[in-house]
A and B are shown apart, each in its own frame.
Chain A
Amino acid sequence: GEDVEQSLFLSVREGDSSVINCTYTDSSSTYLYWYKQEPGAGLQLLTYIFSNMDMKQDQRLTVLLNKKDKHLSLRIADTQTGDSAIYFCAESIKGTYKYIFGTGTRLKVLA
C-alpha cells in the first residue's frame, strides 16, 4: 500500500526546536516534500529532499531522510508562533507527477 503516516499533533514552546516525523511505504519515491498549511489556506512548499540524500538544511529547517526505515523528519529550529500550522509531508510517485500526502501534523507553538 501507499500510506504516509504522521503524528497528529505537536506542541512546543516558542524558541524550542520542533521535530515533525513522517513514515512512508513507497520506497521508489524520487523526491519528498514538506508543505505548510495555515488555517483556511492552500499549501506552501517549505522544502524538499531528493531520495539519494540523507540530510538537507535550509535556514531554520533541517530535513532528515532514512531510506532504510522509510522515515522522513522536519526539524524547525527556534520555533516561532508564526510557525503554528499543519505540516504535510508528501512523496512523489515514481513515473507519475502525483503526490501522496501524509496525514498532517498540527503544530502549536506556545508563547
Chain B
Amino acid sequence: GAVVSQHPSWVICKSGTSVKIECRSLDFQATTMFWYRQFPKQSLMLMATSNEGSKATYEQGVEKDKFLINHASLTLSTLTVTSAHPEDSSFYICSARAPLGTGPGQPQHFGDGTRLSIL
C-alpha cells in the first residue's frame, strides 16, 4: 500500500519550454502533497505544500509564477515549471501524506522523482 507514482521520470527539453510533472497517489487519497527539489549529493528542499482544492503554500524564496502547482483531485498534484531555464535543471520529488489511520503521524510517501534537464 501507499504507492505514489511520479511521471515522467526523466525530461530533457530546450530552454523556454514549460514542463509538467504529475504526482499520483495510487491506492489512497491524499489531501496534502509536497513538492521537493534535490540538487546532486544534497538533501531535499521543500518547495511547496499542495492542498487539494485550494492554493498551494510556497516556501520562502520559491517563485509561485515559476513553479505552478495544481492539486485538482485527491489523487493528483501537478508541478509545472514554466519557461524553464538551465538553472531549473534538478531532481524533483513529490510526496503524499498518508491518510488518517494508515501510519504514525501520517508519514509522507514519496514518488520516484523526475530528473529535469534543460538544455
Q: Do A and B come from one complex?
A: yes
Q: How many Å from the CB of A3 to the closest CB on chain B?
A: 11
Give the CA-CA distance A50 to B113 in the complex, in Å: 27
Q: Does B77 contact A (CB under 8 A)?
A: no
Q: Which residues of B approach A to under 8 Å, CB–CB?
A: 4, 6, 32, 34, 42-44, 46, 49, 93, 95, 97, 103-113, 115
Interface of B: prevailing SS:
strand
Do B49 and A43 touch across chains, with their CB atoms under 8 A apart?
Answer: no
Interface of A: prevailing SS:
strand
Give the CA-CA distance A104 to B44 in the complex, in Å: 9
Closest to B113 in A: A42
Give the size category of A's interface with B. Answer: 20 to 34
Do B43 and A42 touch across chains, with their CB atoms under 8 A apart?
Answer: no
Q: Say whether, besides A40-B115, A97-B49, A98-B34, A48 and B43 are in contact (CB < 8 Å).
A: no
Contact residues in B for A48 (Cβ distance below 8 Å):
103-105, 107
Q: Does A88 contact B (CB under 8 A)?
A: yes
Q: Which residues of A approach B to under 8 Å, CB–CB?
A: 30-31, 33, 35, 40-45, 48, 50, 88, 92, 97-99, 101-104
Q: How many Å from the CB of B111 to the closest CB on chain A?
A: 5
Do B112 and A41 touch across chains, with their CB atoms under 8 A apart?
Answer: yes
